[in-house]
Amino acid sequence: MATRQLQTPFGGRWASRWTALADEIEVRLEAERERIGLWLPVALGAGIAAWFALPTAVHWTGLLLLLGGGLLAGLLIGRERRFGRMVTFGCAIMALGLLLIWARAAWVAAPVLARPITTEFSARIERVVPLPARGQVRILALPQRRADLPPRVRLTLRSEQAAGLAGGELVGVRARLMPPPPANLPGGYDFAQRAWFDGIGAVGTVLGEVARVPGTGEAIPPLRNRLSGHIQRQVAGSAGGIAAALVTGDQGAISDADADAMRRSGLAHLLSISGLHVTAVVGFTMFLLIRLLALSPRLALSGVVLAAAAGGAALAGVGYTWLSGAEVPTIRSCVAALLVLAAFLLGREALTLRLVAAGALIVLVWRPESLAGPSFQLSFAAVTAIIALHESPRMRAFLARRDEPGIFGAGRAVAGLLITGFVVEIALAPIALFHFHKAGLYGALANVVAIPLTTFVIMPAEALALLFDSAGLGAPFWWVAEKALDLLILLAHVVADAPGAVATLPSFPPWGFAFAVFGGLWLLLWQTSWRRAGMLPVVIGVAALFAQPRPDMLVTSDGRHIAVAVPGGGYALLRDRAGDFIRDSLSEAAGIDTPLMALADLEHVTCNRDFCRWRQGEGRGQGQGDAKDDATDDSGRVILASRGMDRVDGGEMAPACAAADVVISDRWLPHECVARWLTIDRDSLAETGGLALYLGKTPRAVASLRAGDRHPWRRPEQVSGNDEAVPTGALAR
């Protein structure tokens, strides 16, 4: 026995163990061979996500080299092994994803405005987007003969200013322009990134009247705008806005209160045209065509009815996608519908995860930047969860038809819908918390009523109303649609206002979100018992979310607005006259769902015309104690924040700054003002963006702008703009 041990070197024992492990992996992969292809879009998306996550070209190049090494390692493992082929193709596809988004970002590059300006210029209108619920209109405009302006800008006008504007029209405007804003707070929405891929180099507001050149616009508005306007004339208010959204994807006529209720109740997916809507259109069209074509005995006996109906349904799906603006969820749903029709004609199983994977690959190749947006993530996560659930043997057995009374069958169907809703809510919760810092808790229950109501009442009533409107007979169908829409809005408000309807949490760490997504995919895409291993990264990701503390203070990127944690989990606002957008942004970043209080009204805060001073952090720092004890109380941090506009002498400020741990100002501070820990002013905010401050024993600040970030929208080519006004009429001519 000893002789055998001497003849077996240490390295040999490890080699045998690795061989056994490799064989075990090979057996697992052989059992999952039909699911391996589902990981192709995951690998492509991982490369795209890595490009967004890594800050500079050096990092991107380094990752490409590492992936090249991984590809070679896969070849060394051996092409005869599935694991070797997976490593080879996985590294190659991931590298392709990184190169794809890198090339896409370079392809859409366009100059960005360097600084805010007010100027006059002529422009060609590219697109008009009405927002009647806000009394506004947004236009995409192409400035003419102004090399000092970006080639495309987005302008907001009041409805009366924009009356009659049409695409292609030449106008002259005076506007206040600014560069596309980055995230205002850590974890917030980064419009600068979105604007880069949309080619928008500036955003702004039109001041005064719009000078127009007659005869330069489209004689007939686009079909989408005309159809939205027609629907909104038939059904008033937010109900009309939802009706238009279901047909054209135009959500501009939905009031903010009703839109917020739809989000909080988990029904917002009904407003974004996706699988539910495309499926309803394609299914209704195919059903109608089959019935009509079957009326002809010759066609029925020739066997072409099914193929002709499928072709007509495919055309209806493509037309609906084009009409609704061809957004990412709609394109994904249209591709899926076409694949379902093809599988149906070929006699293959239609609704599979392969279909979802094919749709994801097409969307990511066409618009790789869509991966970073919540629309893509929510859409594909929901569909993947639904199909994976219904492919499971237990769910199939539960929903299988059987000989039983009808009431039991109906109850099983409702239970299946509830289970599906809960699974979808669980799948979408991490994504909603990452992007919006909130997730609805009662969405599954609300959707049990809302989805059948939308699919079988609202959308058919709208379709029939539009069809019969050609003969002036659509009024009864519009009445049915309006009453059903009013019921849908009522349901949204009842669910949204229910206690505990929304879970709110502070920022989800990106690495924790990545763990949760990977674990979720592992659970959903594999079928055998090793899928349970996906629970480990899911638990790690969720633990990272719940371990994330609420910030003690939030400072917006301009330094004007500061939210401060107070006892009981609420926050107080430095400038209590802040608008709804700022309040909502601060509440989301803080992870709260309660109104913001006024900081100056708190007893422990001392304010004068120019500054507010208080103690923040541990002990008294959560809003307890008296500011006069600052000199003797070592709990918490002393904060000094400016709120006035008057100039303050640096010599006078120096002692107050030196006595504070943190000084915050939205203007430039004199060099004499130096805080004990952190001094924040306009110069520093230009580098950091918005800040989240954690004032524990080891204080830290989290910035919305990463240091060293070299993505193209952070360091774009800039144009200076020109504040000199040129007569608008002359520009228009």
| Domain-ending residue, one of 156, 188, 222 | 222
Whether residue 288 is contained in a domain is answered as no
What's the pLDDT tens digit per position in 652-664? 788 989 999 999 9
User: Does 568 share its domain with 520?
Assistant: no
User: Does 591 share its domain with 535?
Assistant: no
Its domain, for residue 606, covers: 553-695
Integer Cα distance of 157 and 175 in angstroms: 10
pLDDT at 5: 43
For residues 690 and 507, is the Cβ–Cβ distance under 8 A?
A: no
Interstrand relation of 562-565 and 553-555 (parallel, antiparallel or unpaired): antiparallel
Whether residue 333 is contained in a domain is answered as no
**Per mean pLDDT, which of 341-355, 460-474, 629-643 is the most reliable?**
460-474
Picking from 129, 133, 132, 159, the residue whose alpha carbon sits closest to that of residue 141 is 129
Query: Whole-number mean pLDDT of the chain?
Result: 85
Whether residue 627 has pLDDT greater than 50: no
What's the pLDDT tens digit per position in 692-733? 999 988 899 999 998 889 999 998 999 987 766 555 444 444
What's the pLDDT tens digit per position in 255-266? 888 888 888 888
**Per mean pLDDT, which of 208-222, 315-329, 680-694 is the most reliable?**
680-694
pLDDT at 276: 63
Calculate mean pLDDT across residues 210-231. Answer: 78
User: Does 571 share its domain with 685?
Assistant: yes
Lowest mean pLDDT among 208-217, 507-516, 707-716: 208-217
Whether residue 39 is contained in a domain is answered as yes
Picking from 527, 281, 502, the residue whose alpha carbon sits closest to that of residue 394 is 527
User: Does 516 share its domain with 649?
Assistant: no
Number of domains making up the chain: 4
6 — pLDDT class (breaks 50, 70, 90): very low
Calculate mean pLDDT across residues 128-140. Answer: 87
Calculate mean pLDDT across residues 636-656. Answer: 82
pLDDT at 351: 66
Picking from 175, 157, 164, the residue whose alpha carbon sits closest to that of residue 217 is 164
Calculate mean pLDDT across residues 471-480. Answer: 90
Residues whose CB falls within 8 Å of the CB of residue 217, separated by 6 or more in sequence, listed in order? 125, 165, 166, 167, 168, 169, 170
Whether residue 280 is contained in a domain is answered as no
Whether residue 3 has pLDDT greater than 50: no
User: Does 571 share its domain with 664?
Assistant: yes
21 — pLDDT class (breaks 50, 70, 90): confident
Whether residue 212 is contained in a domain is answered as yes
Whether residue 579 has pLDDT greater than 80: yes
| Domain-ending residue, one of 222, 247, 271 | 222
Q: Which tops the pLDDT comparison, 723 or 681? A: 681
Integer Cα distance of 685 and 158 in angstroms: 32
pLDDT at 618: 57
What's the pLDDT tens digit per position in 407-428? 877 888 888 878 888 888 888 8
Whether residue 61 has pLDDT greater than 90: yes
What's the pLDDT tens digit per position in 665-679? 988 888 888 999 999
User: Does 79 share its domain with 190?
Assistant: no
For residues 50 and 94, is the Cβ–Cβ distance under 8 A?
A: yes
Instruction: From residue 194, give the alpha-carbon distance in Å to each of 55, 108, 203, 227.
Output: 17, 11, 12, 28
Integer Cα distance of 643 and 132 in angstroms: 35
Integer Cα distance of 247 and 456 in angstroms: 15
User: Does 123 share its domain with 209?
Assistant: yes
pLDDT at 329: 65
pLDDT at 353: 85
User: Does 535 share its domain with 561?
Assistant: no
Integer Cα distance of 472 and 176 in angstroms: 45
User: Does 649 share its domain with 627?
Assistant: yes
Picking from 389, 337, 375, the residue whose alpha carbon sits closest to that of residue 359 is 337
User: Does 58 share its domain with 162?
Assistant: no
pLDDT at 680: 93
| Domain-ending residue, one of 222, 252, 267 | 222
Q: Which tops the pLDDT comparison, 482 or 623? A: 482
pLDDT at 732: 42
Calculate mean pLDDT across residues 629-646. Answer: 70
Interstrand relation of 678-680 and 662-664 (parallel, antiparallel or unpaired): parallel
Whether residue 621 is contained in a domain is answered as yes
The CATH number of whichever domain residue 175 belongs to comes to 2.40.50
Picking from 447, 476, 473, 471, the residue whose alpha carbon sits closest to that of residue 461 is 476
Whether residue 349 has pLDDT greater than 90: no
Integer Cα distance of 170 and 212 in angstroms: 6
Calculate mean pLDDT across residues 440-444. Answer: 80
Q: Which structure tokens are listed for 695?
A: 């004032």
Whether residue 396 is contained in a domain is answered as no
Lowest mean pLDDT among 228-237, 273-282, 302-311, 350-359: 273-282
User: Does 93 share its domain with 143?
Assistant: no
Calculate mean pLDDT across residues 632-657. Answer: 77
Whether residue 589 is contained in a domain is answered as yes
397 — pLDDT class (breaks 50, 70, 90): confident
pLDDT more than 90, % of the chain = 35
Calculate mean pLDDT across residues 62-84. Answer: 89
User: Does 126 share its domain with 87?
Assistant: no
For residues 376 and 362, is the Cβ–Cβ distance under 8 A?
A: no
